[in-house]
Structure 1
Amino acid sequence: MFRKGFTLIEMTAVLILAMMIAATSTTMISQQVSFYSRLSAQKFVLEEAPIANSMMVRILSQADAFRIHGSRANALADTNGLVANGTVLVVGFAQPDGSREFGLIEFTRDPAASTGDLVFSKLSEDASTVVSSWTITGGASNVTFGIQNGILIMNMTGPNGGNIQYAASSSL
Protein backbone atom coordinates (compact mmCIF):
# COMPACT_ATOMS: atom_id res chain seq x y z
CA MET A 1 0.00 0.00 0.00
CA PHE A 2 1.31 3.37 -1.07
CA ARG A 3 0.52 6.41 1.10
CA LYS A 4 0.70 10.11 0.32
CA GLY A 5 1.69 12.82 2.84
CA PHE A 6 3.91 13.07 5.90
CA THR A 7 3.54 11.67 9.37
CA LEU A 8 3.11 13.88 12.42
CA ILE A 9 6.64 13.03 13.59
CA GLU A 10 8.14 14.07 10.25
CA MET A 11 6.23 17.37 10.26
CA THR A 12 7.29 18.07 13.85
CA ALA A 13 10.95 17.39 13.03
CA VAL A 14 10.84 19.78 10.06
CA LEU A 15 9.16 22.52 12.12
CA ILE A 16 11.73 22.17 14.93
CA LEU A 17 14.58 22.32 12.43
CA ALA A 18 13.07 25.43 10.76
CA MET A 19 12.65 27.13 14.15
CA MET A 20 16.27 26.38 15.07
CA ILE A 21 17.51 27.86 11.78
CA ALA A 22 15.33 30.97 12.28
CA ALA A 23 16.55 31.45 15.88
CA THR A 24 20.19 31.07 14.82
CA SER A 25 19.74 33.52 11.93
CA THR A 26 18.05 36.08 14.18
CA THR A 27 20.87 35.83 16.73
CA MET A 28 23.53 36.23 14.04
CA ILE A 29 21.79 39.27 12.53
CA SER A 30 21.41 40.82 15.97
CA GLN A 31 25.13 40.35 16.66
CA GLN A 32 26.04 41.87 13.30
CA VAL A 33 23.85 44.93 13.95
CA SER A 34 25.41 45.33 17.41
CA PHE A 35 28.94 45.02 15.98
CA TYR A 36 28.18 47.53 13.22
CA SER A 37 26.72 49.99 15.73
CA ARG A 38 29.84 49.77 17.90
CA LEU A 39 32.10 50.14 14.89
CA SER A 40 30.14 53.20 13.71
CA ALA A 41 30.39 54.73 17.18
CA GLN A 42 34.18 54.34 17.06
CA LYS A 43 34.56 55.68 13.51
CA PHE A 44 35.77 59.06 14.77
CA VAL A 45 38.45 57.49 16.95
CA LEU A 46 39.50 55.01 14.26
CA GLU A 47 39.48 57.28 11.21
CA GLU A 48 39.15 61.00 11.96
CA ALA A 49 41.30 61.34 15.10
CA PRO A 50 44.51 59.87 13.60
CA ILE A 51 44.22 62.19 10.61
CA ALA A 52 43.61 65.18 12.87
CA ASN A 53 46.58 64.13 15.01
CA SER A 54 48.85 63.91 11.98
CA MET A 55 47.80 67.34 10.73
CA MET A 56 48.17 68.96 14.17
CA VAL A 57 51.62 67.41 14.62
CA ARG A 58 52.74 68.79 11.26
CA ILE A 59 51.39 72.26 11.95
CA LEU A 60 52.52 72.57 15.56
CA SER A 61 55.99 71.10 14.94
CA GLN A 62 56.68 74.01 12.59
CA ALA A 63 55.22 76.67 14.92
CA ASP A 64 57.40 78.59 17.34
CA ALA A 65 54.63 80.47 19.15
CA PHE A 66 50.91 80.27 19.77
CA ARG A 67 48.10 82.19 21.41
CA ILE A 68 44.53 81.21 22.25
CA HIS A 69 41.33 83.19 21.71
CA GLY A 70 37.61 82.65 22.15
CA SER A 71 36.61 83.89 18.69
CA ARG A 72 38.04 84.54 15.26
CA ALA A 73 37.41 88.28 15.65
CA ASN A 74 39.48 88.38 18.86
CA ALA A 75 42.22 86.31 17.25
CA LEU A 76 42.50 88.55 14.18
CA ALA A 77 42.47 91.69 16.38
CA ASP A 78 44.90 90.05 18.86
CA THR A 79 42.64 90.89 21.82
CA ASN A 80 41.20 88.98 24.78
CA GLY A 81 43.73 86.15 24.87
CA LEU A 82 42.82 83.07 26.91
CA VAL A 83 44.66 80.33 28.75
CA ALA A 84 41.78 77.82 28.71
CA ASN A 85 38.64 76.87 26.79
CA GLY A 86 39.47 78.78 23.62
CA THR A 87 38.21 77.61 20.25
CA VAL A 88 40.72 79.55 18.15
CA LEU A 89 44.49 79.06 18.12
CA VAL A 90 46.85 81.46 16.34
CA VAL A 91 50.23 79.91 15.51
CA GLY A 92 53.36 81.78 14.47
CA PHE A 93 56.04 80.45 12.16
CA ALA A 94 59.51 82.02 12.05
CA GLN A 95 60.87 82.19 8.51
CA PRO A 96 64.55 81.83 7.51
CA ASP A 97 64.71 85.48 6.42
CA GLY A 98 63.62 86.65 9.89
CA SER A 99 60.03 87.39 8.92
CA ARG A 100 57.00 85.67 10.44
CA GLU A 101 53.97 83.91 9.01
CA PHE A 102 50.79 83.17 10.92
CA GLY A 103 48.11 80.54 10.81
CA LEU A 104 44.81 80.14 12.58
CA ILE A 105 43.29 76.88 13.79
CA GLU A 106 39.60 77.29 14.55
CA PHE A 107 36.75 75.02 15.60
CA THR A 108 33.38 76.06 14.22
CA ARG A 109 30.02 74.34 14.52
CA ASP A 110 26.58 75.29 13.31
CA PRO A 111 24.31 75.30 16.40
CA ALA A 112 21.89 72.94 14.64
CA ALA A 113 24.62 70.41 13.80
CA SER A 114 26.04 67.72 16.08
CA THR A 115 29.57 68.03 14.70
CA GLY A 116 31.73 70.86 13.44
CA ASP A 117 34.92 71.58 11.53
CA LEU A 118 38.45 72.08 12.79
CA VAL A 119 39.95 74.36 10.13
CA PHE A 120 43.48 75.64 9.49
CA SER A 121 43.68 79.06 7.85
CA LYS A 122 46.75 80.87 6.54
CA LEU A 123 46.72 84.50 7.62
CA SER A 124 47.93 87.62 5.84
CA GLU A 125 51.36 89.08 6.67
CA ASP A 126 49.88 91.33 9.36
CA ALA A 127 47.75 88.40 10.69
CA SER A 128 44.54 90.39 10.31
CA THR A 129 42.75 88.49 7.52
CA VAL A 130 42.38 84.92 6.30
CA VAL A 131 44.14 84.21 3.00
CA SER A 132 43.25 80.54 2.52
CA SER A 133 41.97 77.63 4.58
CA TRP A 134 41.42 73.88 4.64
CA THR A 135 39.65 71.44 6.95
CA ILE A 136 41.67 69.32 9.38
CA THR A 137 38.65 67.27 10.48
CA GLY A 138 34.90 67.58 10.14
CA GLY A 139 33.84 64.96 12.66
CA ALA A 140 34.44 66.52 16.08
CA SER A 141 31.61 67.71 18.29
CA ASN A 142 33.85 70.06 20.27
CA VAL A 143 37.48 71.25 20.28
CA THR A 144 39.05 73.50 22.90
CA PHE A 145 42.56 74.81 23.40
CA GLY A 146 44.27 75.61 26.69
CA ILE A 147 47.69 76.12 28.21
CA GLN A 148 48.94 74.16 31.21
CA ASN A 149 52.48 74.85 32.47
CA GLY A 150 53.47 76.32 29.12
CA ILE A 151 52.17 73.28 27.22
CA LEU A 152 49.41 73.68 24.64
CA ILE A 153 46.58 71.22 25.31
CA MET A 154 43.95 70.51 22.66
CA ASN A 155 40.87 68.58 23.78
CA MET A 156 38.87 67.04 20.96
CA THR A 157 35.52 65.42 21.65
CA GLY A 158 34.06 63.00 19.12
CA PRO A 159 30.41 62.76 18.13
CA ASN A 160 29.79 59.93 20.61
CA GLY A 161 31.46 61.63 23.58
CA GLY A 162 34.94 60.12 23.30
CA ASN A 163 37.60 62.62 24.34
CA ILE A 164 41.10 62.80 22.86
CA GLN A 165 43.75 65.12 24.23
CA TYR A 166 46.78 66.38 22.33
CA ALA A 167 49.71 68.23 23.89
CA ALA A 168 52.42 70.33 22.24
CA SER A 169 54.95 72.97 23.24
CA SER A 170 56.32 75.80 21.23
CA SER A 171 59.97 75.59 20.29
CA LEU A 172 60.77 78.90 22.03
Structure 2
Amino acid sequence: MMRTTPKTRRRCGGYTLMELSLAMAVGILVAGMSLMLFNQQMAFIRIFRAQDFLTREAPLINNYVIRVIGTAESYALYKDMDSMRNGDGAVLEDATVLVLRFKEADGTKRASILSFEDPGTGSGLYYTVIPDSGVLGAPDWAVSKQPEAVKFAVEQGVLRMRLSGPNGEELVYSGTQQL
Protein backbone atom coordinates (compact mmCIF):
# COMPACT_ATOMS: atom_id res chain seq x y z
CA MET A 1 0.00 0.00 0.00
CA MET A 2 1.23 3.39 -0.97
CA ARG A 3 1.53 6.10 1.53
CA THR A 4 -0.15 9.40 0.61
CA THR A 5 1.22 12.73 1.52
CA PRO A 6 -0.57 16.05 1.26
CA LYS A 7 1.45 16.82 -1.87
CA THR A 8 0.38 13.67 -3.76
CA ARG A 9 -3.20 14.02 -2.56
CA ARG A 10 -3.45 17.49 -4.08
CA ARG A 11 -2.19 16.31 -7.49
CA CYS A 12 -4.65 13.45 -7.64
CA GLY A 13 -7.59 15.69 -6.81
CA GLY A 14 -7.67 17.76 -10.08
CA TYR A 15 -6.66 21.22 -11.25
CA THR A 16 -6.04 24.21 -9.10
CA LEU A 17 -8.01 27.40 -9.41
CA MET A 18 -4.95 29.10 -10.87
CA GLU A 19 -4.58 26.44 -13.59
CA LEU A 20 -8.29 26.69 -14.51
CA SER A 21 -8.12 30.48 -14.63
CA LEU A 22 -5.08 30.36 -16.88
CA ALA A 23 -6.73 27.84 -19.23
CA MET A 24 -9.88 30.01 -19.45
CA ALA A 25 -7.83 33.15 -20.11
CA VAL A 26 -5.96 31.43 -22.95
CA GLY A 27 -9.26 30.16 -24.41
CA ILE A 28 -10.83 33.64 -24.26
CA LEU A 29 -7.72 35.15 -25.84
CA VAL A 30 -7.80 32.63 -28.72
CA ALA A 31 -11.55 33.21 -29.24
CA GLY A 32 -11.05 37.00 -29.26
CA MET A 33 -8.25 36.76 -31.80
CA SER A 34 -10.34 34.44 -33.97
CA LEU A 35 -13.26 36.88 -33.86
CA MET A 36 -10.96 39.76 -34.79
CA LEU A 37 -9.57 37.82 -37.77
CA PHE A 38 -13.09 36.88 -38.88
CA ASN A 39 -14.23 40.53 -38.74
CA GLN A 40 -11.15 41.58 -40.69
CA GLN A 41 -11.87 38.96 -43.35
CA MET A 42 -15.50 40.11 -43.63
CA ALA A 43 -14.35 43.73 -44.08
CA PHE A 44 -11.99 42.59 -46.84
CA ILE A 45 -14.81 40.73 -48.60
CA ARG A 46 -17.05 43.83 -48.42
CA ILE A 47 -14.29 45.96 -49.97
CA PHE A 48 -13.63 43.34 -52.65
CA ARG A 49 -17.32 43.13 -53.57
CA ALA A 50 -17.60 46.92 -53.70
CA GLN A 51 -14.73 47.05 -56.19
CA ASP A 52 -15.85 44.00 -58.15
CA PHE A 53 -18.00 46.07 -60.51
CA LEU A 54 -15.12 48.42 -61.29
CA THR A 55 -12.52 45.70 -61.76
CA ARG A 56 -14.56 43.07 -63.61
CA GLU A 57 -17.81 44.29 -65.07
CA ALA A 58 -16.96 47.86 -66.15
CA PRO A 59 -14.02 46.87 -68.41
CA LEU A 60 -16.17 44.21 -70.11
CA ILE A 61 -18.95 46.74 -70.72
CA ASN A 62 -16.36 49.21 -72.01
CA ASN A 63 -14.90 46.71 -74.51
CA TYR A 64 -18.31 45.71 -75.79
CA VAL A 65 -19.69 49.24 -76.11
CA ILE A 66 -16.55 50.49 -77.88
CA ARG A 67 -16.77 47.70 -80.47
CA VAL A 68 -20.48 48.05 -81.12
CA ILE A 69 -20.67 51.84 -81.23
CA GLY A 70 -17.40 52.12 -83.13
CA THR A 71 -18.75 50.06 -86.03
CA ALA A 72 -22.08 51.90 -86.26
CA GLU A 73 -22.69 54.17 -89.22
CA SER A 74 -25.21 56.31 -87.35
CA TYR A 75 -27.26 56.34 -84.17
CA ALA A 76 -30.28 57.91 -82.52
CA LEU A 77 -31.23 58.33 -78.85
CA TYR A 78 -34.71 57.76 -77.42
CA LYS A 79 -36.04 58.47 -73.96
CA ASP A 80 -37.18 54.85 -73.45
CA MET A 81 -38.33 51.79 -75.39
CA ASP A 82 -41.97 52.94 -75.48
CA SER A 83 -41.09 56.30 -77.05
CA MET A 84 -38.96 54.50 -79.66
CA ARG A 85 -41.78 52.05 -80.48
CA ASN A 86 -44.31 54.90 -80.68
CA GLY A 87 -42.11 56.78 -83.14
CA ASP A 88 -41.55 59.74 -80.83
CA GLY A 89 -38.72 61.98 -81.91
CA ALA A 90 -35.12 61.29 -81.01
CA VAL A 91 -33.61 63.18 -78.09
CA LEU A 92 -30.12 64.41 -77.32
CA GLU A 93 -30.01 63.77 -73.57
CA ASP A 94 -31.48 61.71 -70.75
CA ALA A 95 -32.01 58.70 -73.02
CA THR A 96 -32.05 55.04 -72.04
CA VAL A 97 -32.19 53.70 -75.61
CA LEU A 98 -29.48 53.92 -78.26
CA VAL A 99 -30.50 52.77 -81.75
CA LEU A 100 -27.48 51.90 -83.87
CA ARG A 101 -27.53 51.60 -87.66
CA PHE A 102 -24.91 49.57 -89.52
CA LYS A 103 -24.04 49.30 -93.19
CA GLU A 104 -23.04 45.80 -94.26
CA ALA A 105 -20.31 45.06 -96.81
CA ASP A 106 -22.93 44.12 -99.44
CA GLY A 107 -24.63 47.52 -99.08
CA THR A 108 -27.57 46.34 -96.97
CA LYS A 109 -28.38 47.98 -93.68
CA ARG A 110 -29.22 46.54 -90.30
CA ALA A 111 -29.97 48.04 -86.92
CA SER A 112 -29.69 47.13 -83.27
CA ILE A 113 -30.60 48.61 -79.91
CA LEU A 114 -28.50 49.12 -76.81
CA SER A 115 -30.93 49.88 -73.99
CA PHE A 116 -31.19 50.11 -70.24
CA GLU A 117 -34.51 48.49 -69.39
CA ASP A 118 -36.29 45.72 -67.52
CA PRO A 119 -37.72 43.28 -70.05
CA GLY A 120 -39.06 41.09 -67.26
CA THR A 121 -35.77 39.43 -66.33
CA GLY A 122 -34.35 42.29 -64.27
CA SER A 123 -33.07 45.71 -65.19
CA GLY A 124 -29.81 45.93 -67.05
CA LEU A 125 -28.03 46.99 -70.20
CA TYR A 126 -29.43 44.88 -73.06
CA TYR A 127 -28.60 44.39 -76.73
CA THR A 128 -31.34 43.72 -79.26
CA VAL A 129 -30.97 43.09 -82.97
CA ILE A 130 -33.80 44.67 -84.93
CA PRO A 131 -35.10 41.98 -87.33
CA ASP A 132 -35.91 42.75 -90.98
CA SER A 133 -39.61 42.66 -90.10
CA GLY A 134 -39.05 45.52 -87.66
CA VAL A 135 -41.02 43.73 -84.94
CA LEU A 136 -39.06 43.78 -81.71
CA GLY A 137 -38.99 40.79 -79.43
CA ALA A 138 -37.12 40.20 -76.22
CA PRO A 139 -33.51 41.41 -76.04
CA ASP A 140 -30.99 39.04 -77.59
CA TRP A 141 -28.67 39.20 -74.59
CA ALA A 142 -27.80 41.16 -71.48
CA VAL A 143 -24.56 43.08 -71.71
CA SER A 144 -24.69 43.50 -67.92
CA LYS A 145 -27.34 43.36 -65.20
CA GLN A 146 -25.19 45.07 -62.58
CA PRO A 147 -25.61 48.78 -63.47
CA GLU A 148 -28.16 50.74 -61.46
CA ALA A 149 -28.72 53.22 -64.31
CA VAL A 150 -27.48 53.92 -67.82
CA LYS A 151 -28.10 57.22 -69.62
CA PHE A 152 -27.08 58.19 -73.13
CA ALA A 153 -26.57 61.79 -74.24
CA VAL A 154 -24.92 63.82 -76.97
CA GLU A 155 -22.68 66.46 -75.40
CA GLN A 156 -20.91 68.88 -77.73
CA GLY A 157 -21.44 66.46 -80.60
CA VAL A 158 -19.94 63.46 -78.79
CA LEU A 159 -21.96 60.43 -77.70
CA ARG A 160 -21.67 59.81 -73.95
CA MET A 161 -22.90 56.90 -71.88
CA ARG A 162 -23.17 57.48 -68.12
CA LEU A 163 -23.23 54.23 -66.21
CA SER A 164 -24.05 54.14 -62.48
CA GLY A 165 -22.73 51.09 -60.64
CA PRO A 166 -24.31 49.18 -57.76
CA ASN A 167 -22.22 51.03 -55.14
CA GLY A 168 -22.75 54.54 -56.48
CA GLU A 169 -19.85 54.49 -58.93
CA GLU A 170 -20.31 56.63 -62.01
CA LEU A 171 -18.46 55.88 -65.21
CA VAL A 172 -18.65 57.94 -68.37
CA TYR A 173 -17.87 56.42 -71.75
CA SER A 174 -17.30 58.79 -74.64
CA GLY A 175 -18.00 57.46 -78.07
CA THR A 176 -18.09 58.72 -81.58
CA GLN A 177 -19.20 62.07 -82.87
CA GLN A 178 -22.80 62.46 -83.86
CA LEU A 179 -23.40 61.24 -87.38
Quote how far apart the aligned CAs of 1:29 are.
0.7
The range that moved more, 39-48 or 153-162, is: 39-48
Quote how far apart the aligned CAs of 1:62 are.
0.9
Shift in alpha-carbon separation, 1:171–1:71, aligned structure 2, 3 A = closer
1:66 aligns with 2:75: yes
Distance (Å, rounded) in 2 between the aligned partners of 1:147 and 1:78: 20
Distance (Å, rounded) in 2 between the aligned partners of 1:161 and 1:171: 29
Partner of 2:60: 51
Partner of 2:159: 152
SS at match of 1:23: helix
Quote how far apart the aligned CAs of 1:102 are.
0.9
Partner of 2:99: 90
Identity of aligned residues (%): 24
Conservation of the 8 A alpha-carbon contact between 2:158 and 2:178: no
Partner of 1:130: 136
Which of the two has greater strand per residue?
Answer: 1
Quote how far apart the aligned CAs of 1:108 are.
0.7
Distance (Å, rounded) in 2 between the aligned partners of 1:160 and 1:26: 27
Distance (Å, rounded) in 2 between the aligned partners of 1:145 and 1:64: 17
Shift in alpha-carbon separation, 1:37–1:110, aligned structure 2, 3 A = farther
Quote how far apart the aligned CAs of 1:80 are.
2.0
The range that moved more, 23-32 or 74-83, is: 74-83
List runs of 5+ in structure 1 lacking aligned partners: none
Conservation of the 8 A alpha-carbon contact between 2:126 and 2:144: yes
Equivalent residue in structure 2 for 1:11, among 20, 24, 36:
20
1:121 aligns with 2:134: no
1:74-113 mapped onto 2 (5 Å cutoff): 74-76=83-85, 78-109=87-118
SS at match of 1:161: coil
Shift in alpha-carbon separation, 1:170–1:76, aligned structure 2, 3 A = farther
Deviations 1:97-131 (A, max 9, x none): 333211111111379x9x612111111347x4336
Q: Please, what TM-score do these two structures have when normalized by structure 1?
A: 0.86
SS at match of 2:106: coil
List runs of 5+ in structure 2 lacking aligned partners: none
CA-based RMSD: 2.4
Conservation of the 8 A alpha-carbon contact between 1:91 and 1:102: yes
Conservation of the 8 A alpha-carbon contact between 1:63 and 1:170: no
Conservation of the 8 A alpha-carbon contact between 2:117 and 2:124: yes
Distance (Å, rounded) in 2 between the aligned partners of 1:37 and 1:109: 27
Quote how far apart the aligned CAs of 1:96 are.
2.2
Quote how far apart the aligned CAs of 1:15 are.
1.7
Q: Which has the larger radius of gyration?
A: 2
The size of the alignment, in residue pairs, is 169
Q: Please, what TM-score do these two structures have when normalized by structure 2?
A: 0.83
Distance (Å, rounded) in 2 between the aligned partners of 1:90 and 1:168: 14
Quote how far apart the aligned CAs of 1:145 are.
0.3
